[in-house]
Structure 1
Amino acid sequence: MTDQPTRFPRFFITARAPCPYLPGKVERKVFAELRGPDAARMSESLGRIGFRRSQNVVYRPSCEGCSACISVRIVARAFRPSASQRRLIRRNADLEVAACDPWATEEQFDLLKRYLAARHPTGGMATMDGYDFADMIETSPVDTVVVEYRLPSESGRPGRLVGACLTDKQSDGLSMVYSFFDPEIAGRGGLGTFMILDHVLRAAAVGMDYVYLGYWVKGSPSMDYKRHFAPLEALLPDGWRLLPAAPRESTSRRRAVLEA
C-alpha cells in the first residue's frame, strides 16, 4: 500500500428522498468529492457528462426508474435572443455587472433570504444561515466568481444589489451554479432570465462555446423556462444533442418566464 493520491474520485450514492421537482417521485444522487491538484480538471470533465458542482462535491441524479432530469447547455455563439428576450435585455441594460471573487457578503446573504422567502419558502435552502451561505460561496476548488448585478450607482456610491450568480469558469464556457435576485424590485421583471441572457452574451463575446444551466426536468413547470433559450443542447444517452425548439410562447407564458 502507498500514500499516492488516487487518479479517479470515489463515487457514493445518497439515500432515497422525496423528489423536489416531481410529486410522488423519489430521488437519489451519485456524488464524489473534489480534492487535490486535479480538482478543477475533474470538475470540468464530470460536468461534461452531466454532473453539477456544489461546494467541493459534484453530483448527478441516479434515480431508479426515472430519467426526467436532463443536463442542458446553451450554445452561446449560436444564440440569438427572441423579441421578448431583446426587450428584457434593453430594460436591464443599465444594470452594473461585476465579476467578484467568491467571498460571501452580508448584502448577498440578505438578497438570498428575500429571494428564498418569496420563491422557495419551503425548499431545502430556506433554513440556510450565514455560515451555510459562506460555505456555498467560498468553498470551491475551481475557478469561481460571483457575478453581481446592481442598480446604477449614485453620487459615487455602488448601486443596490439586485441579482447575483455563483458561476464557474470552464475552458468551454460558463456554468451557472446558483443564481438569486430581488423578487420585488419594480420596473425590472425577469431578472433571473436576464442574468442567463447576460451570461450567454458575455460567453459568446469572448469565444466561449456554452453556458451550462444544470438540469431541465421534463414535467416540472418550474424548470420549463430553460427550454426557451435556443439553441439548447441536452445530454442524451448518445451524447450532447440539440433539443427541438420550444413552442412559441403565449403572452401569458412570456409573462411567467419574465418573472423567473
Structure 2
Amino acid sequence: MTAPASLRIPLFLTPELPCNYLPDRLARTAFVGSEVPMSAELYAALMRQGFRRSGSHVYRPHCAGCQACIPVRIPVADFRPSRSQRRNLAQNADLAVGWERPALAEDHYQLYERYISQRHADGEMYPPSRDQAEQFLLADWSATRLLTLRHDQQLLAVLVADVADDGLSAVYSFFAPEQTRRGLGVRAVLALIERARSAGLPYVYLGYYIADCRKMNYKADYQPQQHFRDGEWQTVRD
C-alpha cells in the first residue's frame, strides 16, 4: 500500500484491533514506513492528506467499511468564536499565553503526570513516565512548540503543536484537572487559532473528528471548518 501517488510513500498496515473510540468497531491503521526519512516538510505534506503523528510515528486510519475518523482543520481567517467561546475568553482573561521550545521542563511533566493519572488512568498512557511523555509528544524531526497557559506563573495548561508551512497542528493538550470551570482545553485551542492568525498561517489542524465519540466530537464547536473527504478538503458549517 502507498500514500497518494504524488508523495510515493510506502505504508504498512496494522492488524485489526478493537477501536479505542467506537466500542462496536474494529480499527486498522496505516503507518509511514520506518525507512522513510521523515522531516517537518514531508510531514506537512502528509498532514494535508489526512495524516497525523504520535511521537515520531506518522499514521492515518485505514478501517474497512468505516470512515468515522474525519481529518479536520480550521480556516483561521474565517473563524469566529461562538458565544460560549467568547465567555471562555472572558473568564480566562487573567491567563498568560506562552509559546515555548519543546523541551519538557519539570512543571510541564508534573502537569502531564497529574492529568494522565486523574483523567486517563484507564488508558494506554497510564502509568505516565517522563520517557513515555517525550516519546508520545515529541519527534526529533518535527518543528514543535508548547503553547502554555499560566496564572501568576503557575502552569495550568499545555497544548503541544507542530508548526507547518500552512498552519499549526494540535498534537495533544493536557491541563490542571481540578480547574474544570475554566474550560482550559477550549482556551488552549482558541489560543492556538490566535497564534496561527498572528503568524499569518491559514489553518489550524485539529486531528480527527468522530461524531459518535464524546472525546472527539468537541471539534465540531470550532466553525467554520474543513473536512478531508474523498481526497480533498471541503468546507462544512454547523
Shift of 1:181: 0.5
Deviations 1:183-239 (A, max 9, x none): 1027x5210011001111221122211110000012112211110100111001151
| Conservation of the 8 A alpha-carbon contact between 1:34 and 1:58 | no
Structure 2 residue 224 is matched with structure 1 residue 222: no
TM-superposed deviation, 1:122: 0.9
Over 3 Å off, 4+ runs: 33-36
SS across alignment from 2:67: coil
TM-score (norm 1): 0.83
Letter matched to residue 221 of structure 2: H
Q: What CA distance in whole angstroms lies between the structure 1 residues aligned with 2:188 and 2:36?
A: 30
Cα RMSD after superposing both structures: 1.8
Contact 2:49 2:231 in 1 (8 A): no
Structure 2 gap ranges (5+): 1-6
Any idea what the Cα deviations from partners look like across 1:61-85, whole Å, max 9, x if unmatched? 0111111000001111111111111
In structure 2, distance between residues paired with 1:35 and 1:149: 35
Counterpart for residue 236 of structure 1? 229
Q: CA deviation at 1:138?
A: 4.0
Identical positions, percent: 37
Q: Does residue 128 in structure 1 map to residue 128 in structure 2? A: yes
Q: In 1, distance between residues paired with 2:96 and 2:131?
A: 27
1:194 aligns with 2:187: yes
Deviates more, 1:116-125 or 1:12-21: 116-125
For the Cα contact (< 8 Å) 1:103–1:137, is it kept in 2? no
Whichever of the two has the greater Rg, that structure is 1
Query: Residue 115 of structure 1 aligns with which residue?
Result: 115
TM-score, length basis structure 2: 0.90
Structure 1: gaps (5+ residues): 1-6, 153-158, 246-260
Report if aligned partners of 1:34, 1:43 keep a CA contact under 8 Å in 2.
Answer: no
Which residue does the alignment assign to 2:81? 81
2:146 maps to 1:168: no
Question: 2:178 aligns to what?
Answer: 184
